[in-house]
Chains A and B, each alone.
Chain A
Amino acid sequence: MNKPIKVAQQAAVSKTNHADRIRSVVSPMGIEAWLVEDYTVPIIAVEGLIDGGTSQDPTDRPGLLHCLMGTLDEGAGPYDSTAFQERLDDFAIELSFGADRDHASFHLRTLSRHRDEAFDMLRLALTEARLDPDAIERVRAQVLAGLRHESTDPDVMAHRAWFATAFPQHPYGRSSKGTLESVPEISRADLERTREALLNRTKLHLVVVGAIDPDTLARVLDDVFAPLPAHSGSRLVALTAPVAIGTRKVVDLDVPQASIRFGAAGLARTDPDFVAATVVNHILGGGVFSSRLFREVREKRGLAYSVSSHLAPFAHGPLHMGGTSTKNERAAESIGIIEQEIRSLAQDGPSEQELATAKNFLIGSYALRLDTSAKLASQLVHIKAHGLGRSYLDERNGLVAGVSLDDAVRTAKRLYGAGELLTVVVGRPVGL
């Protein structure tokens, strides 16, 4: 299907100089943040990650960290929940907290004229959250309502079943938000313990983008983050790999369309072939209108609206994953085509043309991921958390350009092996 295209076959890798724009600011107390100083729009965006995510939840308390992060903005310091939220709105401060399997996270956005108030609200939430009993009960009720709602959502069911099957003995197999059984058991003491263990400044990664100068930021860093503990109480999480690869699991739900998740072990972010794997994944199921899965599953056969794949470089067990939704009668056909495409990519690798197109896309589109303060801050904080340097934004397109056909062929074999997958289907698929 790939036609020759009348545009440059090799994207120019222009010499950008992001590294000059990204400063490392270190406070007197030794707290570091990357800063991109920019006054075009009078706002400041802050992204923070702390290593040690929901995989740190005790075996009998899945959902604990998620619950804690949800309670941080429900009252802190002198403000009860209502007063805290009113103060955020009075200054139009956007502050939110989250957690994934490997990190706790926070996101702050403020108009620069409300900078001091905004940073102080972040400080209060991180270091002086009150964890009032009524706030805990409110968050617990919200989490439980969410879990009840998701318990019959086909996509969420497929995601949870996939991880539970792939990681039966590992924290990755448990629901990050906990369960209807575990969340009612969470106590204030549990929340305090997990806060003490996980919210610290030694495993903190910080990026600030916008209208603030380095000296002011250095002062702010000490004000906001110095009160956090200087040690992490996170436990070692074992390296793992998904099991049950090569099997299919069907979860019954009375819906006309089957929700499908597939995946297997992937490559770590630090793997020398990771960039090549990014290119290979793009060829299989990245992008919107160009991947093999898009063409074979959607465009040619009309089997699905959405079909895609991605790399999930979890710290303790990297994966490659993907999914689609297709009517029950044609679910088996869709899965067959996906498996066939993965096997074929593993055996033969991509064509020269596919490789060139994917590289051109990944190189050219990188700037599109950096065109708002929040997007730039989010990209940078993950780069920082992965241990890549400030020069990575400049190096990255050169790394993609350097992926040869040999690299892609080798990496496709490493990534997909014999094409074995764990596939989970939620619905009433016919013929599976």
Chain B
Amino acid sequence: MPHTAATPSSERPSLVPGVKIAHHTLANGMDVVVIPDHRTPVVTHMVWYRNGSADDPVGQSGIAHFLEHLMFKGTAKHPQGEFSDIVTELGGEENAFTSMDYTAYYQRVAREHLGTMMEMEADRMKGLVLTDDVVIPERDVVMEERRMRTETDPGAQLSESIAAALYAHHPYGTPIIGWMHEIEQLGRQEALAYYHRFYTPENAILVIAGDVTSEDVLALAEKTYGTISALGEPPKRKRPQEPELRGAKKVTLADPKVEQPSLQRSFLVPSATTANAGESEAIEVMIQILAGGQTSVLHRQLVVEKTIAVAAGGWYHSTSLDRTRMLIYAVPNADVTLDALELAMDQAIADFIANGITEKELARAKTRLIADAFYAQDSQSAMARMYGSALATGASIEDVTHWPDAIDAVTADDVMKATRWLDSRTSVTGFLIKDEAA
């Protein structure tokens, strides 16, 4: 039998009623989350590890992501290719992804194959076998991935430089895929050291969404993941935190390939994990009003009224273990300089802070954000990702389930207080321009 009692998602009524999430912890410390969706006889099986690129050892940037690639290279029990072959044979889809705070592996299969997936995923938590024959070509693959995503795209290069400037000290300033000169040096030993440190049951979260019951899932989890010994204690994530830096920074990237300039500004802000109660939700509503879509302040002022931009918007990445980023951007209309656009953006923000918001704006932003929680229920993989990423960054099931209520509780006053995070002294502004000299 399961070792801990089920934690019912909540007894309080929620604004977004519906699915009942089950949450258990196995004796070895592995979390188990079950999200029912009985519309289609399929299931999404995910294992999340609470480590990401921000946990890469100094000088080994990219190792979390490289290991994610290498996790497909087989074990003693299921040699290279066998897991993927079986997923294919069973008509399943699979993949994996690495973020700054977590690494996750998933398969989507017909529900009757869930046990097979759990057996094989549990096997590779401890049984990975690596030889240079598979490690070296895979490192070439990762370098091609970096070339594809970054080396051929000036916009992506600017984003890297902005992050590196925004985080002077914290590893969020280093790209997830790693710096090219460090990827080149990664090898089998670095990958295995990282693997043994982080791939343990107490560092893992099993998330299963689909046409299953929590009883069935728990029985399978006991038989598969439950047999893995705990390491003793969860690995620690010790990251250097950002100092209080003052002084707006500016990064300009000029490249002959830039035919359409743009500007963006990133701010260092609290995440859902680091914020005081209600603060993250207030930032969420604030950025929605300022920069979310075509009804936002920035779009209305810069695109519709002044017509000096063709697009303007922004976002806030709340799901983050440490202090996170909020970003706004604008793309100038033809013959508008970035300096002129930046001035107009500054003015729009200053007006926004000075004038406050209307009740209509507040209600609209909340409606839009809360609706996303309804729409997410239509997709079992979206639900699995929502809960997995929240738990992997320190949130609870309750936090996710009651997020819509927390959004609904945000007042106009909260929103105006949250504008303090639009502080250019803790920001980096990036200009993407054409290099005319080249």
A residues lining the B interface (CB < 8 Å):
1-3, 5, 7-8, 11, 38, 40-43, 45, 81-82, 85-86, 89-92, 94, 109, 111, 134, 137-138, 141-142, 144-146, 148-149, 151-154, 253-257, 259, 287-290, 298-306, 325-327, 357, 360-368, 370-374, 427
A82 in contact with B295 (CB, 8 Å): yes
Interface string of B422-434 (1 = CB under 8 A from A): 0000000000000
A373 to chain B, nearest CB (A): 5
A144-B334, A367-B40 given; name 15 further pairs at CB < 8 Å: A11-B89, A11-B91, A40-B39, A85-B295, A91-B367, A138-B310, A288-B93, A289-B87, A302-B138, A302-B141, A302-B144, A306-B145, A364-B91, A364-B92, A371-B39
B26 to chain A, nearest CB (A): 27
Knowing A41-B18, A288-B95, the reply to whether A367 touches B148 (Cβ < 8 A) is no
Residue of A2, A85, A109, A357 touching B294 (CB-CB under 8 A): A85
A142 in contact with B86 (CB, 8 Å): no
CB of B6 closer than 8 Å to a CB of A: no
Q: What are some 27 contacts across the A-B interface (CB < 8 A)?
A: A5-B89, A40-B37, A43-B377, A89-B293, A141-B310, A142-B310, A145-B260, A152-B257, A256-B147, A257-B151, A288-B93, A288-B94, A288-B95, A289-B94, A290-B88, A304-B144, A305-B144, A325-B152, A360-B90, A364-B89, A364-B91, A368-B92, A368-B108, A370-B40, A371-B40, A371-B42, A372-B379
Assembled-state Cα–Cα distance A298/B144 (Å):
10
A135 to chain B, nearest CB (A): 9
With a CB–CB cut-off of 8 A, which chain B residues contact A366?
A: 91
Pick the interface stretch among B270-278, B300-308, B391-399. B300-308
| Most B Cβ at <10 Å: residue of A90, A153, A290, A371 | A371
What number of A-B contacts does a CB cutoff of 8 Å give? 195
B259 in contact with A152 (CB, 8 Å): yes
Assembled-state Cα–Cα distance A8/B90 (Å):
9
Residue of B142, B368, B375 touching A43 (CB-CB under 8 A): B375
Residue of B260, B367, B379 touching A89 (CB-CB under 8 A): B367
B144 in contact with A365 (CB, 8 Å): no
Knowing A82-B295, A361-B91, A364-B90, the reply to whether A154 touches B334 (Cβ < 8 A) is no
Assembled-state Cα–Cα distance A142/B141 (Å):
35
B291 to chain A, nearest CB (A): 13
Shortest 10 CB-CB distances between A and B: which pairs? A364-B91, A302-B140, A92-B371, A302-B137, A305-B145, A257-B147, A152-B257, A148-B260, A289-B84, A149-B260
Q: Please name the residue on chain B nearest to A364 by beta carbon.
A: B91
With a CB–CB cut-off of 8 A, which chain B residues contact A85?
A: 293-295
CB of B224 closer than 8 Å to a CB of A: no
With a CB–CB cut-off of 8 A, which chain A residues contact B333?
A: 141, 145
Interface string of B287-324 (1 = CB under 8 A from A): 00000011100001001100100110000000000000
Knowing A92-B367, A305-B141, the reply to whether A365 touches B258 (Cβ < 8 A) is no
B137 in contact with A301 (CB, 8 Å): yes
How many B residues touch the partner, as a band? Answer: 35 or more
Assembled-state Cα–Cα distance A427/B144 (Å):
14
A254 in contact with B307 (CB, 8 Å): no
CB of B235 closer than 8 Å to a CB of A: no
B88 in contact with A360 (CB, 8 Å): yes
Which residues of B238-286 have CB atoms within 8 Å of chain A's CB atoms? 256-260
B86 in contact with A367 (CB, 8 Å): no
Assembled-state Cα–Cα distance A253/B87 (Å):
39
CB of B417 closer than 8 Å to a CB of A: no
With a CB–CB cut-off of 8 A, which chain A residues contact B350?
A: none
CB of B122 closer than 8 Å to a CB of A: no
A64 to chain B, nearest CB (A): 19
A305 in contact with B300 (CB, 8 Å): no
With a CB–CB cut-off of 8 A, which chain B residues contact A256?
A: 147, 151-152
Knowing A259-B152, A302-B139, A302-B141, the reply to whether A290 touches B84 (Cβ < 8 A) is yes
A204 to chain B, nearest CB (A): 24
Which residues of B134-178 have CB atoms within 8 Å of chain A's CB atoms? 136-145, 147-148, 151-153
A364 to chain B, nearest CB (A): 1
With a CB–CB cut-off of 8 A, which chain A residues contact B368?
A: 89, 92
Which residues of B327-377 have CB atoms within 8 Å of chain A's CB atoms? 331, 333-334, 363-364, 367-368, 370-371, 374-375, 377
Knowing A305-B144, A362-B91, the reply to whether A142 touches B311 (Cβ < 8 A) is yes
With a CB–CB cut-off of 8 A, which chain A residues contact B87?
A: 289
A82 in contact with B300 (CB, 8 Å): yes
Assembled-state Cα–Cα distance A290/B81 (Å):
9
Knowing A41-B378, A360-B90, A365-B91, the reply to whether A302 touches B295 (Cβ < 8 A) is no
Q: Please name the residue on chain B nearest to A93 by beta carbon.
A: B371
Assembled-state Cα–Cα distance A382/B218 (Å):
39
Residue of B40, B92, B109, B364 touching A90 (CB-CB under 8 A): B364
A254 in contact with B85 (CB, 8 Å): no
| Most B Cβ at <10 Å: residue of A42, A141, A363 | A141
CB of B41 closer than 8 Å to a CB of A: yes
Q: Please name the residue on chain B nearest to A16 by beta carbon.
A: B41
CB of B72 closer than 8 Å to a CB of A: yes
Interface string of B63-75 (1 = CB under 8 A from A): 0000000001000
CB of B110 closer than 8 Å to a CB of A: yes
Residue of B93, B151, B256, B310 touching A145 (CB-CB under 8 A): B310
With a CB–CB cut-off of 8 A, which chain A residues contact B137?
A: 299-302
A306 in contact with B307 (CB, 8 Å): no
| Most A Cβ at <10 Å: residue of B82, B89, B136 | B89
Q: Please name the residue on chain B nearest to A253 by beta carbon.
A: B257
CB of B60 closer than 8 Å to a CB of A: no
A303 in contact with B140 (CB, 8 Å): yes
Which residues of B9-47 have CB atoms within 8 Å of chain A's CB atoms? 18, 37-42
With a CB–CB cut-off of 8 A, which chain A residues contact B138?
A: 302
B126 to chain A, nearest CB (A): 21
Assembled-state Cα–Cα distance A154/B109 (Å):
35
Assembled-state Cα–Cα distance A67/B90 (Å):
43
| Most A Cβ at <10 Å: residue of B84, B85, B137 | B85
